[in-house]
Structures are given as structure tokens and as C-alpha cells.
Amino acid sequence: MAKAPARKASTEPAVPNRERPNEPERYSASKEELLEFYKQMLLIRRFEEKAGQLYGLGFIGGFCHLYIGQEAVAVGLQSALDGDKDSVITGYRDHGHMLAYGIDPKVIMAELTGRGAGISRGKGGSMHMFSTEKKFYGGHGIVGAQVSLGTGLAFAHKYNEDGGVAMAYFGDGASNQGQVYESFNMAELWKLPIIYVIENNQYAMGTSVNRSSSEDQLYKRGESFRIPGIQVDGMDVLACRGAAEEALAWVRAGKGPIILEMKTYRYRGHSMSDPAKYRSREEVQSVRDKSDPIEAVKRELDTLGVKEDELKALEQEIRKVVNESADFAEQTPEPDPAELYTDVLVETY
């Protein structure tokens, strides 16, 4: 068989994308804003602790992945989004992102316990929660799927010219998946308005990022697609918010996608059924002691003159909200059996 002729190398120079986003500055928050960040992070932490307890008591079945330790990421980033236009999508570790988007803790907890009043009518559970009203598109159990779906959301924003930006969160483990790079390619080629957020919590189930990734500086993962990346301290809510500001400025200016690598840490196991043999208790404790995102904000609030009593009152208020959500989730009924026949796709497409 005749050999195919060798392809001639292109004489066209590659179009350089030399412009870089600015180095993000730590966001300078007012006392009120900082208190709000504190409140939201504490809500996520207490909510997740309660979810862990309810799981232990058998009220929550199936998988349940807690966000404890990573609170600053969702709160810092999403506080910069425009809830009327922008969309958010994430994986299965999704409760914190929903709370940070102002979704009622009661309907999230009720979803966890599989109740009819849950945000997905009790049929989705921990990993599959949606709020199209809030432009929160889940909640996905397939690692990496949210990256391609999020790229689709960004395409829709551009196609509909609605001015929105998609924020697609995924993990360090997911960042080694093939569809991520197909998505990167299309997003840059079409200059889609998307912020890819890699939540690098150092582990993918029991595998550390250094064991699985030949390039562990994940913010560089867009380089071959000319997508710029920024590495961010994901344990510092103001650094997260500052990075979000820069990323949004880049994307809203029509410059295409950007990657944020958030260096963070999960305190709990991968899911509720993780024996955690792959790391030591000391490692976890040391991060808690040195870099806890909530304690860090507490210290900043202290220097701004916020009194201990005020923080205690806030803590009580949050505990009340979380307890009410748990009571609601235990007492509200399970879905009606007729619900088995709704939300089922029967047509052929």
C-alpha cells in the first residue's frame, strides 16, 4: 500500500496568547463581608458535621462525601458570582457549593435523607442535587463529567449571549481524566466563558496527587491549550475571593477560559465509608491546627474588633438553622410511591 505523504508542517505561526491574567490580590473585605464569609463557612461545616451524624444513625443512605476543610473555596469563589446570570456545576462533594449559593439547608438535608421535600424530591440523594432556578446544575457522580457538562453550560451562555459565566469545579483526581482535555481544547478554541476550578484537596480517594500526577502543579494543566492558570491558597477565603475577581475579569472580557487551582485539604475521609489508611492522623491534625479556613477568619475578625460574644451568638444561630434542617429532614415524609413513575424519560430522542 502506498505510504501516505508526510504532512507538511504548517508555515502559519501559532497565534500566541501572550496576555496573562493579573496576579490576584487578596480581597479586601469589609467587616460585614468577612462576617458573612465566616457565617457561610460555619454553616457548611456544621451542616456537614450534622450530615455525618445522620449518616452514622442510618438516616442517610448511599454515598455521602463531606466538604469539611474545603469551605473557603466555595464561599470565596461563589461570593463573587452573579447569581442571576452565572451557573455552577460540580461533582458529588456538592453540599457546600449549594449552601454557598444560598440554597435552603432544609431542602438539602431532606434530599440527603431521601424525603419528598428534598431539592431533587428525594430521588437524587447526596450526589445528585440540582437547582435550575439558582443555576446550580449538580451534583455529578461520574468523575470529570461535570467538566464537559460545564463546558456545555459555558457554550450556552455564549450562544444565548446572556452574559453569564460557568464555574465548573472538579478534583485533583478528575484533572487526570481525558474528557477534561477535550473540554479545555474546545473551550479555548471557542473562547467560552468558563472558570475551571480544580479543588486540589491532595487526594483522589486513597491516592495522593503526587502518586497519580506527573505534573502536580495543576494550574499548569491548560498550558498546551493556551489556557492560563492561577494557583490559589484555598484555605484562605479572601485569597479565593481575590482569585475569583481576577478570573471573572478575564472571562467576562471575552478572553476565554481560565483555570484556578485551589490548594485545599479535606479533613474527613473520601466518603463516609473510607477507612483512611493512606494518611496519618497527625497529617490531618497538623493541617487543622495550622491552616483551618474558619479559624483564620475568626482571627481576622478578632483584629477587626468583633467580640467573642458576637461570634458565639452567630454560632448558636447557625446551630439552630442546622438542627432545624435535620428535624425537617427526619420528620418530613418519604416520596409518594407514585413518584416512582415521574421524572422518568420515556420518549425516544
Contact residues for ligand TPP, defined by CB under 6 A: 93, 141-143, 171-174, 201, 203-205, 270
Please report how close the Cβ of residue 173 comes to ligand TPP at its closest, in angstroms. 3
- Side chain identity at 264, as an amino acid letter? T
Q: Does 94 bind Mg ion (CB under 5 A)?
A: no
Pick what 164 binds: Mg ion, ligand TPP, none; C-beta below 5 to 8 Å, kind-dependent.
Answer: none
Scan residues 202-241 and list those touching Mg ion (CB under 5 A): 204
Residue nearest to ligand TPP (CB): 171
Please report how close the Cβ of residue 24 comes to ligand TPP at its closest, in angstroms. 23
Q: Which stretch binds Mg ion (CB under 5 A): 110-118, 201-209, 257-265, 316-324?
A: 201-209
Q: Does 76 bind Mg ion (CB under 5 A)?
A: no
Please report how close the Cβ of residue 164 comes to ligand TPP at its closest, in angstroms. 25
Structure letter (DSSP) for residue 264: -
DSSP per residue, 190-213: TT--EEEEEEE-SEETTEEHHHH-
Q: Which residue of 118, 164, 171, 242 would you call a contact of Mg ion, by CB under 5 A? A: 171
Q: Does 70 bind Mg ion (CB under 5 A)?
A: no
φ, ψ of residue 2 in degrees (nearest 5): -65, 140
Q: Report long-range pairs for 277-280 (Cβ below 8 Å, ≥24 apart).
A: 277/206, 278/203, 278/206, 278/207, 278/208, 279/203, 279/208
Strand order in the sheet with 229-233: 87-89, 166-171, 194-200, 258-263, 229-233
Pick what 93 binds: ligand TPP, Mg ion, none; C-beta below 5 to 8 Å, kind-dependent.
Answer: ligand TPP
Please report how close the Cβ of residue 15 comes to ligand TPP at its closest, in angstroms. 32
